[in-house]
């Protein structure tokens, strides 16, 4: 028979009961609290607001914003699965409005957007290829590299073979509007 020589070093029962210092349910939502604090000037308004487009979507890549520029798919079944078409801002975050203004948006099937490892939000090469195509468009039609940096804050350089492959595949107008 098994005979344990191990001795328990901690008592089974805690001597002091745990006390809940915060109520289980918040009386106000986090957003409400943040808004009130912001009103009192205690914090800056930093909570994320749902993004609203500032300009009507137009793309230097294609006229057909309902069709994925890479796969040619529309909303619905393609390659055996249901997919949505997303509008991707080539320059994101604080540059979303600038991307819209200069038509640096592209329709992508959700997997090519952010739902798969090869999607633009995950594959840095694809992201960089698209950014560089747009930068060239800017220099061709809008201003200098310095102007671009003034507006977008940065100029994206670098990349190897993978980027040139993407760039060939993705040059504007390679897919004709349906
Ligand atoms: Zn995106």
Q: Does any domain span residue 48?
A: no
Burial state string for 52-65 with b = 16 or more CB within 10 A and e = fewer than 16? eeeeeeebbbbebb
Percentage of residues in the chain having pLDDT higher than 70: 80
DSSP-assigned letter for residue 112: I
Ligand 1 centroid, distance to 87 Cα (angstroms): 7
* Residues 67-85, mean pLDDT to the nearest whole number: 96
Above 70 in pLDDT, residue 132?
yes
Q: Does any domain span residue 129?
A: yes
Please name the residues in contact with 159: beta carbons below 8 A apart, sequence gap of 6 or more.
Answer: 125, 128, 129, 132
Sole residue written with tokens 């890549």 = 61
As a whole number of angstroms, the distance between CA 103 and CA 72 comes to 19
- Total domains, the chain: 1
Q: Does any domain span residue 27?
A: no
* Residues 108-132, mean pLDDT to the nearest whole number: 96
Q: Does any domain span residue 84?
A: yes
Tens-digit pLDDT profile for residues 158-170: 878 888 888 888 8
Ligand 1 centroid, distance to 91 Cα (angstroms): 9
pTM of the model: 0.71
Q: Does any domain span residue 95?
A: yes
Q: Does any domain span residue 131?
A: yes
Q: Which domain holds residue 85?
A: 76-170
Q: Does any domain span residue 59?
A: no
Tell me which residue of 92, 126, 88 sits closest to 106, measured CA to CA. Answer: 88
Ligand 1 centroid, distance to 30 Cα (angstroms): 27
């Amino acid at each position: 028979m098994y005979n344990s020589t191990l001795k328990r070093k901690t008592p089974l029962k805690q001597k002091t009961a745990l006390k809940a210092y915060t109520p289980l349910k918040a009386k106000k939502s986090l957003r409400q609290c943040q808004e009130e604090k912001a009103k009192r000037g205690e914090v800056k308004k930093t909570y994320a607001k749902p993004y609203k487009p500032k300009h009507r979507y137009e793309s230097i890549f294609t006229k057909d914003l309902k069709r994925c520029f890479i796969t040619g798919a529309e909303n619905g079944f393609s390659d055996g699965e249901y997919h949505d078409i997303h509008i991707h801002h080539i320059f994101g975050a604080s540059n979303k409005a600038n991307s819209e203004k200069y038509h640096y948006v592209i329709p992508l099937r959700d997997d090519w957007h952010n739902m798969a490892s090869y999607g633009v939000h995950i594959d840095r090469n694809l992201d960089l290829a698209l950014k560089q195509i747009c930068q060239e468009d800017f220099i061709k039609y809008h201003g200098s590299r310095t102007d671009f940096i003034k507006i977008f804050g940065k100029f994206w350089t670098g990349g190897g073979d993978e980027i040139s492959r993407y760039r060939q595949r993705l040059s504007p107008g390679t897919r004709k509007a349906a």
